[in-house]
């Protein structure tokens, strides 16, 4: 996501921090994933946090977005997981 910083990753996930609101980050991923051919299968949230599950074929990506106490937003993308 444009503006992301403090990113880290491992084989199954990628996490980063961004100076943006939870709803803006959520809307970005809903738009971007659709353009890339992913379908939103589950989603819930509010202005403090959100969780989305996207599916493309047999692949699944879970996206968690949460407002931190310092006003920044943390984002975590996990691949290969199962739908909750």
Please write the tens of the pLDDT for every residue from 13-26: 999 999 999 999 99
| Number of compact structural domains in the chain | 1
Is residue 59 in a domain?
yes
CB neighbours of residue 9 within 10 Å? 10
Show the low-confidence residues of the chain (pLDDT under 50).
84
CA–CA gap between residue 78 and residue 81 (Å, rounded):
7
CATH number of the domain within which 69 lies:
3.30.310.80
Give the residue among 75, 82, 83 at the shortest CA–CA distance from 14. 75
Is residue 84 in a domain?
no
Is residue 27 in a domain?
yes
Residue 54 domain boundaries: 5-79
CA–CA gap between residue 52 and residue 14 (Å, rounded):
15
């Amino acid at each position: 996501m444009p503006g992301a910083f403090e990113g880290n990753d491992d084989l199954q996930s990628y996490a980063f921090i961004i100076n943006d609101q939870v709803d803006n980050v959520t809307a970005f991923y809903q738009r971007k994933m659709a353009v890339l051919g992913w379908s939103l299968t589950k989603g819930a949230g509010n202005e403090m946090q959100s969780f989305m599950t996207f599916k493309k074929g047999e692949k699944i990506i879970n996206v968690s977005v949460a407002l931190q106490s310092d006003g920044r937003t943390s984002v975590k993308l996990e691949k290969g997981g199962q739908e909750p």
